[in-house]
Amino acid sequence: MASALSAFRVSISRISSFRARQFSYPATSGLAHTKRIICSSSHSLSPSDTSSSSVSLMGTNENARWRPMCLYYTHGKCTKMDDPAHLEVFNHDCSKELPVTAADLKGKKPQEFDFFLVLDLEGKVEILEFPVLIVDARTMQVVDLFHRFVRPTKMSEQAINKYIEGKYGEVGVDRVWHDTAIPFKQVVEEFEGWLAEHGLWGKETDGALNDAAFVTCGNWDIKTKIPEQCVVANINLPQYFMEWINLKDVYLNFYGREARGMVSMMKQCGIRLMGSHHLGIDDTKNITRVVQRMLADGAVFKITARRSKSNMRNVEFLFKNRIK
């Protein structure tokens, strides 16, 4: 076993420093049909969390060695959970990068929603990646993550291969994408099953979310891209995409300063960027870290945009002071 572990480490060391650093750590609840992996509760609050040695969401634990998340695990397809060499290199705990301590809760205010669903899509021609992270509005804890790579509906295999190589090849996750990607229609079906398991959605509620709201870094994801993808996939736009919270608008109105994107928000707040920018699950986690910081600072999250029920192309923006 020792020789096997040594050989594995040698093979990993041959990856370039860029690829090793940014390789992939998206963590989620691999809902492969009936299988669901809940986030570890290793960061639940306890009296000891109030000590100065606790790792706050305001920073990162410099003593803990960062490991990329196993992307097969996020899809419920990891077959190496009993392999010490694999476990030595890859993380399988989706809460490690997003800890919360008791001190972080002191300035938090009551929220209108019980849960926030942080979403950050990837893919400009068609959606390639669909990550969603649940944050408990009361505790700020990560509850669970949903992550799916999405196979384009209308593109040729040649176009897909070129698209994926350009998008994910440089961070070393193109092979995982090809092994796990599924059509958008199936992603939506699995996502709805995942929401229902958490009690956040059900057909009996007319398709709306139950005490939860989407949080996105901008309007594009839900306002534009999801409706476009629904047309391409020949499915109706789900009712739970009728309203959302644009983090940029909440950030502007709470702090009184403008931030055009996730990276600028993190810089202004002094939060270190983790993982690979434009790998959807990493961006979702980083956006969540901004959400946690804002909650800790006392921000109240309200719906910022809502579709017209009579004409879904019409969107009403509810904040007078907003990013345009």
List the catalytic residues.
Answer: 122, 278
**Beta bridge mates, 32:** 35
Strand order in the sheet with 315-317: 182-183, 142-151, 129-136, 115-119, 212-216, 243-246, 305-307, 315-317
Residue-wise DSSP of 152-202: -SSS-HHHHHHHHHHHHGGGT-HHHHHHH-EEHHHHHHHHHHHHHHTTSB-
Neighbouring CB atoms inside 10 A of 199's CB total 12
- Burial of residue 301, with CB atoms counted within 10 A of its CB: 0-12 exposed, 13-18 middle, 19 or more buried: buried
Question: Phi/psi of residue 208, each to 5°?
Answer: -85, 160
Residue 17 CB contacts under 8 Å (≥ 6 apart), including other chains: none
Question: Phi/psi of residue 155, each to 5°?
Answer: -85, 150
Nearest to 69 by CA among 282, 278, 263: 282
DSSP summary character for residue 101: -
DSSP summary character for residue 72: H
Q: How big is the CA angle at 284 (ends 260 and 234), to the nearest 5 degrees?
A: 95
